[in-house]
Amino acid sequence: MHKHSTYFHSPLGIIKIEATSEKITSIRFLDSIPGHHIQETKLLNESIRQLLEYFNKARQNFSLPYETEGTEFQKQVWDRVAEIKYAGRATYKDIARAANSPNACRAVGNAVSANPLPIIIPCHRIIGSHGRLGGFSSGLWRKEWLLEHEQNNMNQHLSCSDTASYKK
């Protein structure tokens, strides 16, 4: 299956989006744009539009079709992570329990770090049990930025004091 790709500049640096003609397959942060041809498809343009709305505090949820490649456990973890509400938080342990593997916190961490669709599948919302941020495959500073971006948006638009919004 042929994949298309495009790049755009975000507040967090260059983002590369890859997709088939029907589904987003990858979002990655890059330091520079390689000399590759940028392709335009309806889906890639819609992906950029939705990401820009997110960065401009006009979108909290994405409505993009996507497909992930991974183990069944990874997909189960990513599905649970995708359920975390905007500006919410969940711990690795919360996700392990939701994935019916309560002792698999480390495996959850590995699955989260392999997430092919950061922001869309909001792995930045996963924190350690003691409130520590943990890691982020795209750089901890990006995780901090995303969490602050969402929290600031919630503070501006909603009077919501509960940020623990993970639901199984």
What Rg value do the Cα atoms of the chain yield, rounded?
16
Distance CA 55, CA 58 (A): 8
Residue 14 exposure: Cα atoms within 13 Å on the Cβ side: 9
Question: Can you give the three-state secondary structure of 72-84, one letter per residue?
Answer: HHHHHHHHHHHCC
Read off the amino acid at residue 59.
Answer: R
Query: CA distances (Å), 114 to each of 7, 48, 70, 158, in order?
Result: 20, 22, 9, 32
Catalytic residue, chosen from 123, 126, 146, 147, is 123
Helix (H) or strand (E) segment spanning residue 25: strand 24-30
105 is catalytic: no
Give the helix ranges, DSSP H, for 8-164.
Answer: 42-55, 72-82, 92-98, 105-113, 140-157
Angle between helices 105-113 and 72-82 (to 10 degrees): 80
Q: Which residues are catalytic?
A: 123
